[in-house]
Structure 1
Amino acid sequence: MRVAEWARPVPPVRREVLAALPEVDEGRPPVLFVPGFGHGAWVFAEHWLDRAASRGFPAHAVSLRGHGGSGAAPKASLRAYTHDVVQVAASLPRRAVLVGHGVGALVVTHALARYPAHAGVLVAPVLGGWGTAGTALRRNPVGTLPAAFGGRLRLSRRQLFSRRLPDAAARAYAGRLGRAAARAQWQVLLGRPAEPAVGDPPVLVLGSPDDRVVPLPALNRAAAGYNAAPLLFPGMGHDLMLDAGWPEPIDAILDWLEKDTRA
Structure 2
Amino acid sequence: MSETPPVVLIHGLWIHASAWAPWIDLLAARGFTATAPGWPGEAATVAETRADPDPQNDVGITAICEHYAELFASEGIKPIVIGHSFGGLIAQELLAHDLAVAAVAIDPAPIRGVKALPFSQLKSGLPVLGNPGNKKRTVALTAKEFKYSFGNALSQEESDALWEAVTIPGPGRPLFEDAAANFSRHSPAQVDTHTAVRGPLLLTSGSVDHTVPAKVTREVFALYSDNEASSTEYHEFEGKGHSLTIDAGWSEVAEVVLDWLATKGFGATAPAATDAAS
Class of the TM-score when normalised by the shorter of the 2 chains = 0.7 to 0.9
**1:187-212: per-residue Cα shift (whole Å, max 9, x none)?**
12122312468641110001211111
CA distance in 2 between partners of 1:73 and 1:246 (Å): 27
Query: The residue matched to 2:58 in structure 1 has which SS?
Result: coil
Identify the match of residue 242 of structure 1 among 231, 240, 246: 246
Work out which of the residue numbers 164, 177, 180 in structure 1 matches 2:167.
Answer: 177
Tell me which residue corresponds to 1:60. Answer: 35
1:260 counterpart (257, 260, 264): 264
Q: Does 1:159 align with 2:146?
A: no
* Structure 2 equivalent of residue 117 of structure 1: 100
SS of the equivalent of 1:223 reads helix
Residue 54 (structure 2) pairs with residue 79 (structure 1): no
Output the CA distance in 1 between the equivalents of 2:210 and 2:175: 19
Counting matched residue pairs gives 236
Task: Tell me: CA distance 1:86–1:138, structure 2 relative to 1, closer, same or farther (3 Å).
Answer: closer
* Closer/same/farther in 2, CA of residues 51 and 260 from structure 1, 3 Å limit: same
Per-residue CA distance 1:155-192 (angstroms, 9 max, x = gap): 4214312544x533421322342233333332121223
The alignment's TM-score, normalised by the length of structure 2, stands at 0.73
Compute the displacement of 1:90 (Å).
2.9
d(CA) in 2 for partners of 1:260 and 1:36? Answer: 25
Could you tell me whether the CA contact under 8 Å between 1:36 and 1:104 is conserved in 2? Answer: yes
Match for 1:88 among 50, 53, 71?
Answer: 71
Distance 1:118 1:240 in 2: 24
Deviant stretches of 4+, over 6 Å = none
Pick aligned residue for 2:200 from 199, 202, 205: 202
User: SS state of the match for residue 62, structure 1?
Assistant: coil
Give the superposed CA RMSD. 2.9
**What TM-score does the superposition give when structure 1 sets the normalisation length?**
0.77
Shift of 1:255: 1.1
Change in 2 beyond 3 A, CA 1:216/1:141: closer
1:179 and 1:112 map into 2 onto residues whose CA distance is 27
The share of aligned pairs that are identical, in percent, is 22
- 2:87 alignment partner AA: G
Q: Mark the runs of 5 or more structure 2 residues left unpaired by the alignment.
A: 182-186, 226-231, 268-278
Q: Report if aligned partners of 1:42, 1:68 keep a CA contact under 8 Å in 2.
A: no
Q: In structure 1, what is the Cα distance between the partners aligned to 2:122 and 2:174?
A: 21
The code of the aligned residue for 2:163 comes to A
CA shift in 2, pair 1:156/1:182, >3 Å: closer
Give the deviation of 1:142 after TM superposition.
Answer: 5.6
- Tell me how far apart the structure 2 counterparts of residues 61 and 68 of structure 1 sit (CA, whole Å): 13
